[in-house]
Amino acid sequence: MASETETIALRMLCVLYDATDGQPLHWRMSAEIDRETADAIEFAVARGWVFVEDGYSICLTDAGRRLVESR
C-alpha cells in the first residue's frame, strides 16, 4: 500500500506529465506549496522521478516519464 506522500508524488507526476506533454526535462514553475506537497517533491527527487532547481522549478526525468506512462 502506497503512503500518502507517495500517492501525492504520483499525482504530481501525472500533472507535470500533462503540463509538459510528457517531455522529460521541460521545466515548469511550481506554485506555492504546502508541507505535504514539499514532502512529495522530496520523495520524487529521492527516487529520481523529477529534478528541482532553485527550489521552485521542477521537471520530469526519463524515469518519471516512464513511470507515468506505465500506469
Q: What is the CATH number of the domain that holds 53?
A: 1.10.10
pTM, whole model, 2 decimals? Answer: 0.83
- Using one digit for the tens of pLDDT, what is the confidence trace for 7-37? 989 998 998 899 888 887 888 877 667 788 8
- Looking at the 3D structure of the chain, how many domains does it have? 1
Predicted confidence (pLDDT) per residue in 53-69, tens digit: 887 788 999 999 999 99
Strand-pair partners of 60: 50
Give the tens place of pLDDT for each residue, 35-52. Answer: 888 888 899 999 999 999
Those residues whose C-beta lies under 8 Å from the C-beta of residue 40, and which sit 6 or more positions away, are 5, 6, 8, 9, 12
